[in-house]
Structure 1
Amino acid sequence: MVYRGHITSLVCMALLLAGCDKEPEGQVAAVVNGDEITLQEINAEIGNANIPAGTDTKDVQRAALQRIVERRLLAHSAREDGLDKTPEYLIRSRQIDDALLVQLLGQRAEKSFQVPDQQAINKYMADNPSMFAGRKMYIVDRIQFGLPSDMSQLKSLESAHSMAEVATRLNNLGIKFERGPAKMDSAQLGQQRLDQILALPDGEPFVIPENGMVTVAVITGESPIAGNGAEMAALATQALRRNALTTSLEERLKQARAKAEVKYQPEFAPKKNAGSLGTGTAKK
């Protein structure tokens, strides 16, 4: 009689031996403990690296292959230690998988986009002068602080009409901040945001919450940023493709939400009509 445990061991041994029989040939550049490393993986490892002219391509591929082999061996050691079963690995692996799939989804969508024609490029540049003909570098008096967990604290800034008032109210709230001169590129601000800022009375602070930080500032100076026609056309093309990608992903997200069933614990559910402090004046 052969016990189940013996059968399992025999199967594992057979698989191991089968893996050892693999030979690096054709599109397979190497075999590590039965695990194949293909030319496609090597080329992905090299990616878009700027390889100097005259460099032996095979040398670059060999170096990339060695990096993969060493990484594969260390990963094998980590699995032997059981790290692939830990909660941290499982969570991080899910995060990386999700991010990669979203990236690939975006890349697939980009391939379907048509190159904008000259008329579309010209219209975009005309509609967004802050990025092109009217691009400027603004000098600002800036206050920055971390986004507070209680956003209602920022309500007191809505009636502040000067940077001095903003600083006083932040001090009263016990919110630490940094203040000093800084630069802001109008192209990075975006046309809509810049239009809101320029519509404010002189000296009126504007607020930009972004990436976990809050910026409160006033413009104190400006200087034009020159650019040639070819550069501006290239930037407009990139911006149009980026906007098309954003629209495409937003539409896919909308469709996914419509089909999905998402259940929350009450304390983690999104707040209804949850607002955020948007770009514009501290005065409402």
Structure 2
Amino acid sequence: MQTRLILLAGTSALLLVAGGCQKHVGGQVIAVVNGDEITQQQFNAELNVAKLPAGADKKAAMAQVLQGLVDRKLLVQQAKAEGIEKSPEYLEQVMRMQDTLAVDLLVAKQSKKIATPDKAAIAQFIAANPIMFNLRKHYTLEQIAFPANADAKTIHDLEPTHSLDAIAGVLKAHGIAFKRGTGQMDSAKVPKAVADRIAALPPGEPFIVPSNGAYVASVITASTATPTPDDEAAPIAFNLLRQKSVTDAMQAQIAAAKATSKIEYAQGFAPKPK
């Protein structure tokens, strides 16, 4: 009898411990999915990402966002049940995401230390980049797109061409498929050095630039002067100056880190001298 009582007592203790591990809704926990909590903080973060439009039914939208979180938890649980979180592909992507997040937070921290551009710096930037501001243009283009893996002989034969038809002839001669079409270009969205060279081309002269894994040969067929309004120019210049300052600061930090770090490369992977 004494043994039976001891066993029963032990069983009760196990039940109490198991019951204590169960998670329940309450406080900051707004839902529990098979033991996985969804907190108010997680829900608020999802709402911020959703960016509900003005005039939306907020109650219905919030319910939909929460249900999306629940659905995601269920899918995550299924993925874990199938061992996906232990796969090399998953671990590599997690590491990449962690690295990206760490760098993003470092950039955000460093950007707070960057001096704010003053009015003089903004005015100087606008004056130094007229093609982005008072001389800004929108171009209409006739274009030919072809694969970026064209061989060196093809690229060499394209150099003396002075029209899209001539470019098309060279590509046909080399058996390279291409597509013809039209496009638009904003001089303010092109690097200054490139925009200056394009603006200096004779009428009808093609130019070739890489774009999304391809080469695109273009000829300007029309241009429209679209100077940036004065009330928009200063904010644009301010943001670009800030971006450049942050980029320069991070590049300096990388250079300093490289100077004091030991970096080893496998055979054939070392960077070539500039």
CA RMSD of aligned residues (A): 3.1
Distance in 1 (CA, whole Å) between partners of 2:20 and 2:109 is 34
Matching residue within 51, 54, 72 for 1:52:
54
Is 2:253 the counterpart of 1:240? Answer: no
The corresponding residue for 2:141 is: 140
CA shift at 1:139, angstroms?
2.0
Sequence identity of aligned pairs in percent? 38
Distance in 2 (CA, whole Å) between partners of 1:185 and 1:42 is 40
Note the alpha carbon deviations across 1:194-242, whole angstroms, 9 max, x for none: 1122233443322212332212223232111244222222222222222
Distance in 2 (CA, whole Å) between partners of 1:112 and 1:34 is 43
The two structures have a TM-score, normalised by structure 1, of 0.75
Code of the aligned partner of 1:216: A
Distance in 1 (CA, whole Å) between partners of 2:111 and 2:178 is 41
**Where does 1:24-173 land on structure 2 (aligned, <5 Å)?**
24-47=25-48, 49-52=51-54, 56=58, 61-148=62-149, 150=151, 153-173=154-174
CA shift at 1:136, angstroms?
0.7
The two structures have a TM-score, normalised by structure 2, of 0.78
Code of the aligned partner of 2:103: V
The corresponding residue for 2:3 is: none
| Preserved contact between residue 146 and residue 216 of structure 2 (Cα < 8 Å) | yes
Is 2:210 the counterpart of 1:217? Answer: no
Q: Secondary structure at the match of 2:181?
A: strand
165-174 vs 132-141, which deviates more? 165-174
**Where does 1:196-275 land on structure 2 (aligned, <5 Å)?**
196-258=197-259, 259-266=261-268, 268=269, 270=271
Higher Rg of the two aligned structures: 2
Q: Secondary structure at the match of 1:116?
A: coil
Code of the aligned partner of 1:221: A
184-193 vs 217-226, which deviates more? 217-226
Distance in 2 (CA, whole Å) between partners of 1:19 and 1:187 is 63
Distance in 2 (CA, whole Å) between partners of 1:138 and 1:51 is 34
CA shift at 1:104, angstroms?
3.0
Distance in 1 (CA, whole Å) between partners of 2:40 and 2:230 is 41
The corresponding residue for 1:194 is: 195
| Preserved contact between residue 154 and residue 170 of structure 2 (Cα < 8 Å) | no
Where does structure 1 lack aligned partners over 5 or more consecutive residues?
Answer: 1-12, 274-284
Aligned residues: 258
CA shift at 1:75, angstroms?
0.2
Note the alpha carbon deviations across 1:81-114, whole angstroms, 9 max, x for none: 1122223323333333333333333333334344
Q: Secondary structure at the match of 2:117?
A: coil
Where does structure 2 lack aligned partners over 5 or more consecutive residues?
Answer: 1-13
| Preserved contact between residue 139 and residue 220 of structure 1 (Cα < 8 Å) | yes
| Preserved contact between residue 25 and residue 31 of structure 2 (Cα < 8 Å) | yes
Note the alpha carbon deviations across 1:9-49, whole angstroms, 9 max, x for none: xxxx99x9488344444444344444443332222212251
